[in-house]
Amino acid sequence: MNKANNRGPYHRTAVLLLVAALPTALLTHSPGCAEGANSNPEPFDREGNPVNAGKEAMEMAPMEDCFWVGSIGSNDGWNAFYPGPSMSYPLSGFDVPDGAELRLEGEFPHARFFSFTMYYPGLGSSTGIGGSQALVDTSIEPDPGSVNPYLDGADRNAENRRFTVYFAEGNLPPDPADREPNTIYLGPAFPIQALRHALGMRVYLPDKDTNAIGGVELPTPVLRLADGTELRGADACPMLTGAFAGRVPVFPSIGFDPAAYRAARDNPELYPNTHPAQNPPVWNRVWNQSFNFCITFTPEQDCGPTPTPDPNGPAGFGNPANGYLETWIDRKHGEVLVLRGKKPITPTTYFGDGTADTGEEMRFFSITSTESQYTWSQIDDVFDEEIPVDEDGFYTVVVSRPHQRPANANYNCGVAWVEFPPGGDGFGDLHLARLVLRQTRPQDSFPSSVNNVMERGDEAEVMGDHYPRGEYMSKQDFESRYGCP
């Protein structure tokens, strides 16, 4: 767990320098036994361990070397780029010598989703990020004789699964047809020696019994110098000037103003002591950091028109493949928060399925508990396959402290459980926290996608049954009302 006195140092400061109403009958409907769109060969019962959410003592992979720096959930304060507990984000900051060529050689992870994202500077942006390029798993061509396991009908467990990704000088061509395959465009460099180019690798939901990056090793950098000499791995790193060396402090996060946050959160003249959490919870699409802060913490102000969502994420280093909802919750409203909504159809991969499902509505879905923008720490989550549904496809998710977890809040009773952050908002309020709903690569044909919400306040209408409705109650009330037949 990420407790307030266990925030290990981290390199995010280097990144900082580059400048986050369902009917009552449905809410109280007993979820019954686990069943639904995604069936599992065995149940999940995590017993409240957020570090190994859904992974059952998953073996850890080497998460850093001279080229990569690890970022795994909230473990030991390592939480850059905001990964949830069911995902990991190796990161790299580097530069390429004049006349040299850089490539990465690696293997496709045994996982639900995989991508590389290159971030570009933006001097006019509050986060310092002006653009990005995402190279997503299905768009990466495999090496000759290998298989891309993310393509429809491919063998997910293929032994030969190697790829090569190249880096090219120059800006990202605006027309995808003009881009070279398997190529990441370096674009302009950041004006910081320690982080000339910023690259993130994302691995969502590694298969059971693999490791944090899906049972593979970190991609190896291969540098071809102007004279034709090739350097691999550790031999290449000294030439990649600006490569990360060591860790530097994490907190506060990008764009966070501690004084403004405290003043907006603790304003008894205008708001109750549960502010900004509402009862029942209200979910907003994540547009950008400043707009979401305004509509959530200072709604009495004129926050302006609904902005165009920032594809680089609310704090600049988001996943362009995702759409997000967020809400704030407060334990003073009740010991237990119960969320009900319809679960989107996703592939089943966690138990090592041989081929990816077809007909999914999106690639990945999860609900995560987090601290405030001060840390952005993602504390606990439940992902699609460990969220049971009833006969109508609706889920029941309970959020609580471990000692207030209802006895029937478990998979066998048709309920998923998320731990309320032990540190609250991470900024002194132990009752306040944030929830995030993540949708990864929703299909264009899926009408309830977060990405289809174009105006503030339209979330419930656009998402319909897929919008999570919430109700606070006591532990005892949940146990008596929901049962476990």
| CB-CB contact of 110 with 207 (8 Å) | yes
Shared-domain flag, residues 193 and 277: no
Residues 269 and 171 reside in one and the same domain: no
Contact 288, 307 (CB under 8 A): yes
- Phi/psi region, residue 127 (left: phi>0; alpha: psi -120 to 50; beta: rest), is alpha
Task: Name the pLDDT band for 121 (thresholds 50, 70, 90).
Answer: confident
Work out the average pLDDT over 127-141. Answer: 88
What tokens were used for 59? 């073996």
Q: Average pLDDT of the chain? A: 83
Question: Does some domain include residue 426?
Answer: yes
Spatial CA neighbour of 184 closest among 80, 247, 104: 104
Does residue 252 fall inside a structural domain?
A: no
235 and 301 part of one domain: no
Helix (H, G, I), strand (E, B) or coil at 93: strand
Indicate the residue among 239, 273, 295 that finishes a domain: 239
Confidence of residue 40 (pLDDT cuts 50, 70, 90): very low
Q: Which residues on adjacent β-strands are paired with residue 120?
A: 131
**Number of domains into which the chain is organized:** 2
- The reply to whether 190 and 278 lie within a common domain is no
pLDDT tens digits for range 329-388: 999 999 999 999 999 999 999 999 888 766 799 999 999 999 998 887 888 999 999 999
Work out the pLDDT band at 62, boundaries 50, 70, 90: low
Q: Are residues 216 and 79 in the same domain?
A: yes
The yes-or-no verdict on residue 38 having pLDDT over 50 is: no
Nearest to 330 by CA among 437, 427, 421, 459: 421
Are 186 and 167 in contact, with CB atoms under 8 Å apart? yes
**65 has a pLDDT exceeding 70:** yes
Q: Same domain, yes or no, for 288 and 230?
A: no
In a domain, 433, yes or no: yes
Residue-level pLDDT at 460: 99
Q: Which has the closest alpha carbon to 382: 363, 393, 369, 373?
A: 369
Q: Is residue 249 part of a domain?
A: no
Distance in angstroms (rounded) separating the CA atoms of residues 192 and 101: 21
Pick from 410, 482, 441: which is nearest to 344 by CA? Answer: 441
Using pLDDT thresholds of 50, 70 and 90, give the confidence band for residue 296.
very high
Q: What is the pLDDT of residues 141-151, one digit of tens each?
A: 999 999 999 99
Domain boundary among 211, 239, 267: 239
Residue 233 and residue 131 share a domain: yes
- Report yes or no on 434 lying in a domain: yes
Each residue of 195-213: pLDDT tens digit? 789 899 999 999 998 988 9
Q: Residue 391 above 70 pLDDT?
A: yes
Distance (Å) of CA 384 to CA 151, 396, 442: 20, 12, 13
3-state secondary structure of 51: helix
Domain shared by 206 and 263, yes or no: no
Report yes or no on 88 lying in a domain: yes
Question: What is the band of 290 on the pLDDT scale with cuts at 50, 70, 90?
Answer: confident
Instruction: Flag whether 4 is in a domain.
Output: no
Q: What is the pLDDT of residue 142?
A: 99
Judgement on whether residues 202 and 313 belong to the same structural domain of the protein: no
Residues 176, 290, single domain; the answer is no
In a domain, 235, yes or no: yes
pLDDT above 90 (res 265): yes
Find the domain containing 49 and state its range.
12-19+21-239
Q: Indicate if 227 and 87 belong to the same structural domain.
A: yes
**How far apart are the C-alpha atoms of 370 and 470, rounded to whole Å?**
17
Residue that finishes a domain, picked among 210, 239, 268 = 239
Give the whole-angstrom CA distance, residue 324 versus residue 328.
14
My answer on whether 165 and 225 are in the same domain is yes
CB 329 within 8 A of CB 399: yes
